[in-house]
């Protein structure tokens, strides 16, 4: 059975496309999305054979994330240019098969219906050729490092406190140091660390620099500042304050994740519920150097911005529930901190 994503804020366009698809293929499952965020969730959770997406979804705030994710579906995406193909950015015209759905400034379903069969025939032909991943996919899909993992880094924002407490309870006494970058003001993270300790029964401490306590201590970065993770002269992991004025939120997970990877520290990166895109760029750096990345499944997030942006930037990331993330982390680490096959 083929699975087709039909994405548009227009019920009329979704209905017309679905009807035409059902006439063409009887053994077909169509999944509809009305927004970029909903389409991102579907792409993350399901194997999609073909995507037919309204240009309007790519102009939303999370549209760039959706475009990046769709570009990895073996180029099997039809973009309906409901605003006129001439207005599309060159990158979109190069990435997707485009149908101009606007005739003389008006959405023309007849023109779309005429062009769609030819577009689908072309996609079938493309699907039968060997697929060469894009540069982004190649970078993100580097083999996982065989070296021992040294730490678990977790990024969270809106909805993060509850998700973190749930995740830590499921992990239990961690075999590796855990470092948490929860977006928070400086005067709130000490209380937050105490809350996590009381809720999970773990040893949780706020930290603003210096050597990282060894496991099973869980470290919460002090709010209001950014931190780089490096290695001290003794070889132990060490945090260094590194505030970046251009960052609007702190502690910044991109800075934390990327600095660890650039220092050659083997980490497991986790991105939980949160608004914005923090963690996406840092996760891509971690993955490019062979590290593993996990993101919270979008449907369980209070705000799915950070996980969806991370998945778009890092297609090799594992999208999972909090329970499954805890299971992965437990399975990927053993008493001596080595990564085992997953």
Report CA torsion sign: 116, 120, 121, 122. Answer: positive
- The 3-state DSSP class for residue 279 equals coil
Residue 254 near residue 278 (C-beta atoms within 8 A): yes
Residue 25 near residue 71 (C-beta atoms within 8 A): no
Question: How many angstroms separate the CA atoms of 213 and 191, rounded?
Answer: 19
H/E stretch holding 124 reads helix 109-127
The reply to whether 183 belongs to the active site is: yes
The reply to whether 157 belongs to the active site is: yes
The reply to whether 203 belongs to the active site is: no
CA angle 305, 60, 34 (to 5 degrees): 90
H/E stretch holding 53 reads strand 50-54
- The 3-state DSSP class for residue 284 equals helix
Give the active site residue among 250, 278, 283, 308: 278
Give the active site residue among 71, 183, 254, 308: 183
- The 3-state DSSP class for residue 135 equals helix
Give the active site residue among 35, 95, 140, 157: 157
User: Which amino acids are annotated catalytic?
Assistant: 157, 183, 278
């Amino acid at each position: 059975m083929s699975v087709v994503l039909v994405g548009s804020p227009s019920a009329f366009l979704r209905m017309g496309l679905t009807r035409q698809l059902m006439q063409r293929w009887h053994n077909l499952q169509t999944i509809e999305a009305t927004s970029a965020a909903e389409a991102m969730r579907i792409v993350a959770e399901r194997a999609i054979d073909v995507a037919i997406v309204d240009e309007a979804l790519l102009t939303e705030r999370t549209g760039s994330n959706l475009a990046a994710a769709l570009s990895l579906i073996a180029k099997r995406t039809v973009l309906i240019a409901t605003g006129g193909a001439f207005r599309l950015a060159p990158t979109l015209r190069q990435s997707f098969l485009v149908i101009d759905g606007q005739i003389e400034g008006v959405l023309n379903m007849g023109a779309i219906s005429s062009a769609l069969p030819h577009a689908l025939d072309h996609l079938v032909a493309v699907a039968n050729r060997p697929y060469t991943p894009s540069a982004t996919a190649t970078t993100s899909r580097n083999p996982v490092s065989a070296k021992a993992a040294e730490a678990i880094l977790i990024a969270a924002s809106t909805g993060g406190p509850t998700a973190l407490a749930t995740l830590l309870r499921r992990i239990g006494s961690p075999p590796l140091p855990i470092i948490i970058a929860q977006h928070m003001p400086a005067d709130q993270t000490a209380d937050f660390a105490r809350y996590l300790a009381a809720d999970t029964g773990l040893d949780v401490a706020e930290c603003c620099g210096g050597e990282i306590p060894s496991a099973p201590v869980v470290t919460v970065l002090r709010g209001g500042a950014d931190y780089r993770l490096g290695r001290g002269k003794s070889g132990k992991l060490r945090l260094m304050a590194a505030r970046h004025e251009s960052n609007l939120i702190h502690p910044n997970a991109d800075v934390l994740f990327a600095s660890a990877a650039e220092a050659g520290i083997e980490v497991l990166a986790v991105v939980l519920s949160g608004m914005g895109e923090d963690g996406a760029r840092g996760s891509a750096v971690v993955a490019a150097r062979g590290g593993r990345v996990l993101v919270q499944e979008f449907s369980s997030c209070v705000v799915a911005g950070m996980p969806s942006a991370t998945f778009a930037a890092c297609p090799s990331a594992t999208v999972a529930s909090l329970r499954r993330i805890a299971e992965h982390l437990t399975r990927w680490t053993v008493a001596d901190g080595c990564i085992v096959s997953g």
